[in-house]
Structure 1
Amino acid sequence: MKAIYRLLLLITTLVIGCADSNTSSNSEVAEINPETYWGESPWPEIRKKRIGQLLPKALKAANVDCWLVICRENNNDPMADHIGGENAGGTAVFLFYNDDAGFHSKVFSPSGEATALDDLDIHDEVVSVERGTSAVNMAVDFIKEKDFRTIAVNSSDSNSVADGLSYTQRQNLEQLLGENAKRLVSSTDVVYEWLSIKLPEEVEILRRAAQLTADWQIEAYKQVVPGQSTDADIAKFLNQKMAEYGVKDGWAPDQNPNVNSGADRGHSHATDKVIMPGDVIQIDFGIKVYDRWVSDIQRFAYVLKDGETKAPKDILHYWESGKAGNRAALAAMKPGVKGVDVDRAQRVLMEKAGSDYVMWSTGHPVGYVAHDVGPNLGGSQASHVRPASEKLIKEGMTFAFDGFHAWKLENGGVKTISVEEMAVVKKDGAEYLIAPQEDLILISSKN
């Protein structure tokens, strides 16, 4: 039955997509049922699998015996929903550790939430903490009993999602640990090693999100009427598609999508600039599916001038240069390679092609957020190298990455083609999540 619903939805979507955007009625939009299209969120099972399969390896890679996370109501830890602590009321302590018997997860939870947490069946043990008793005290007693050498806590100066432990929580924890407080270390490496790797099931979700992201951009270009349509019109069309399919913005709504047919504006909102013949149009767009996984894809178009049947030689050169850089970056993206080396691989081609300098990194991890945890693909031509650029690429990592070419416009501004695709790293190299853009999309100036 679900398959029939999805087929009907696909047919409905195609009909709406072919209709003029100005004639789409509210009733048509209402017919789209996001729950039918996406189905039930797979996150609960994926989260359980990530904790059981990937977290033990992350602890070992970070050389940490135990990871402690404190969750609470209203001002929760950024890692809460990754470990099952998103519904915490009173203070709860989550412990993850390796010992001679293997990997374990143990939670000290207030009695009011313990039953529901135990029902999730993602932890080995949920200890119910009675009212008037401190979950932190009980966790510290257990830590002392186990005599862990290193205890990672969420205090980090480089990773915001690994920096959820408040100052007062840290003070209380150190006081209770006493001499053992010197064994506390940052969870930066644990969180990095864990979140940077995606399960195959997650990669498939990202693949599907990336395809929708690219398809909608191509559909948006078909709506453009040179001399009338604005960058903001394209953004409005894509916002409507997100609403129809029940997905969210991949990043800040005010800047998603970033549509730009003029000079570079960096990370920006779409303006009321009118799209004209001779313009190169950039769409930088991402969606969030299941309220969890994020895509980040760019597609480029050229608006033909009167008498043109293809883009002029200089524009084609810029496009092919950017595309070549993207392909070079993909070829360099292998397990054991540093992020900075992927950046260098495409920068060499940029220089040969005569590109102006581009300040952006070649790429970044993408998954739970647009700029996710993992190696940064940049730094080879920067005044300083980000620490994450020196990290090694590993199998299971997912990236959004560009091939660049920048040139000066007649008005003195700079325009950059940034051929952005998404890829997953496999054992022997990286592969695109979806078919990459091979040619500039051409928009006729004739109505």
Structure 2
Amino acid sequence: MLKPVMLMSLAVICGGYQCSLSAAPYDFKAPSPWPEIRKQRIADLLPNAMQRADIDAWLIVCRENNNDPLADHVGCENAGQTAVFMFYFAQEQFRSIAFSPSGESTALAELGLLDNVESIPRAGSAIQSAAAFIAKHDFKAIAINISDSNAQADGLSFSQYRQLIAAVGPKYAPRLISSDTLVYEWLSIKLPQEVDIMRYAAKLTAAWQIEAYQQVVPGETTDADVAAFLKQKMQQAGVTDAWAPDQNPNVNSGTDRGHSHATNRIITAGDVIQTDFGIRLWDRWVTDIQRFAYVLPANETKVPEDILYYWNSAKQGREAAYQAMQPGVKGVDVDAAQRTVMEATGSLPVMWSTGHPVGYEAHDTGPNLGGSKAVSVRPASQKTLAEGMTFAFDGFYSWFLPDGSPKTISVEEMVVITAEGAEYLIPPQQDLILIPTQRN
């Protein structure tokens, strides 16, 4: 059950940040800005990414239904029959070409996304045509979407791979390499206009969580009620889930449950409530932000000393990670900075990384902010931060509840990396949101 309960102004809860959404700069029910942004990403970011990955060409095979995860990043989201998109360097010039089935090639050419669209007769083969193109240019390093570590760079199916190997033949098959590094270099960087969209989305995400907490009636409201309120806000605004809908938002007033769904647990006095919530705009850009509240027992007006210590310790860890996020710093070192604070403040260990890239997915491509204490050791934790990368990251403090089960505060915020270091997309939560217990 939810009932309106005014706690304080949104401006106060937002740490001075104006949460009013009356002058929204974006209409998420309007056409997406993605087509134009995609053109700019291909023109401005992809050539540099290919050079950093030291490849001559990138080949993407697209098809109907079970398409490559990056299909709509390169323009082949509408493929019916098999199509091949290639981005390459010729005479030191960055170029692009699509080998597209004739039934789709006209519309594709009209988009003006690629330099050239070669129409393939229905009886022909886009893969064979691409293989002939490879031989003509004698590319030395050709990236294809196969990866052991990044699902976004692993879109080539086994049957497509067999067809491609057969088409290019023994001379060029050894030159086919994983696109993992290229995809990493390209997807991890966001354009300024993308960051602006994510900034406003973060503002929405946090403001809605605060509004949801304002509806809580201790002893009546359940975690699932809070989640349902946020789902309603998403539907009204025309945005969707940043991750699995059944687990977004994850509202948890009890012991740690990890990535999970909100339950029918009734929120009561003394609870620390965690809401982990993300929205997806135009089916493209996502957020991942947590907000925490504390339910004051009757006749109490402030947070008890132990809970306040846990909260401030988590913020201290967040600040250490924030200060460590500089261009050129490895993700593992950001994690180490945060875990040093955890150890100093007496936190229990936690299983989760300090942070992760966020943008096109909640757990996007880029450096992983983990691995310093053998917690989720991933190759990406050895990657370095760079300008234009966007992250969600936490400051942790974990302790045992009276029943012996663990409880973790994980103050999660979003940042963009600039030349000077990390920059919050919105001001971080500084104080626990206080929910009074109703008196009889």
TM-score (structure 2 length as normaliser): 0.93
Aligned residues: 419
Match of 2:360 among 359, 368, 387: 368
Q: After TM superposition, what 4+ stretches of structure 1 lie above 4 angstroms from structure 2? A: 17-20, 33-38
CA deviation after TM superposition for structure 1 residue 40, in Å: 2.3
1:242 aligns with 2:234: yes
Q: Which residue is equivalent to 1:446?
A: 438
Q: 1:411 to 1:19 in 2, by over 3 A?
A: closer
- The one of 210, 213, 228 aligned to 1:221: 213
In 2, Cα distance between the equivalents of 1:128 and 1:150?
25
- Point out the structure with the larger helix share: 1
Contact 1:34 1:246 survives alignment (8 Å): no
- The one-letter code sitting in structure 2 at the alignment partner of 1:171 is R
Which residue number corresponds to residue 129 of structure 1? 120
Secondary structure in 1 aligned to 2:209? helix
Aligned counterparts of 1:260 and 1:36: Cα–Cα separation in 2: 31
Q: CA deviation at 1:18?
A: 7.4
What SS class does the counterpart of residue 336 from structure 2 fall into?
Answer: helix
List gaps (5 residues or longer) in structure 2: 7-23
1:116 match = 107
Matched AA of 2:160 = Q
Query: What RMSD over aligned residues (CA atoms) do the two structures have, in Å?
Result: 1.7
Q: Does 1:394 align with 2:398?
A: no
2:261 aligns with 269
Deviation, 1:331, is 0.8
**Structure with greater contact order relative to length (CA < 8 Å, sep ≥ 6):** 2
Match of residue 195 from structure 1: 187
Residues 146, 178 of structure 2: 8 Å contact kept = yes
2:52 pairs with 1:58: no
Distance 1:36 1:368, change over 3 A: closer
User: Match of 2:16?
Assistant: none
Amino acid in structure 2 at the alignment position of 1:437: Q
1:157-306 → structure 2 map (5 Å cutoff): 157-178=148-169, 179-306=171-298
What is the aligned partner in structure 1 of residue 324 from structure 2?
A: 332
Letter in 1 for 2:388: G
Aligned AA for 2:168?
L
Secondary structure at the residue paired with 1:259? Answer: strand
How far off is 1:99 after superposition? 3.1
Moved more, 319-328 or 416-425: 319-328
Equivalent position of 1:156 in the other structure = 147
Unaligned stretches of 5+ in structure 1?
1-16, 21-32
Displacement after TM superposition at 1:383 (Å): 6.0
C-alpha contact (below 8 Å) 1:34/1:245 kept by paired residues: no
Out of 344, 353, 360, the residue aligned to residue 352 of structure 1 is: 344
Work out the CA distance in 2 between the residues paired with 1:162 and 1:431.
28
Give the corresponding residue for 2:377. Answer: 385
1:96 maps to which residue? 87
2:20 paired residue number: none
Partner SS, residue 96 of structure 1: strand
1:192 maps to a residue whose letter is: Y
Are residue 421 (structure 1) and residue 403 (structure 2) matched? no
Q: Is the 8 A contact 1:296 1:422 kept in 2?
A: yes
State the Cα distance separating 1:160 from its structure 2 match.
1.0
Residue 236 and residue 34 in structure 1: after superposition, are their counterparts in 2 closer, same or farther (change >3 A)? Answer: farther
Give aligned-pair identity as a percent: 63
Give the residue type in structure 2 aligned to 1:131: R
Partner of 1:43: 34
Q: Relative to structure 1, is the Cα distance of residues 35 and 50 closer, same or farther in structure 2, using a 3 angstrom cutoff?
A: closer
Partner of 1:311: 303
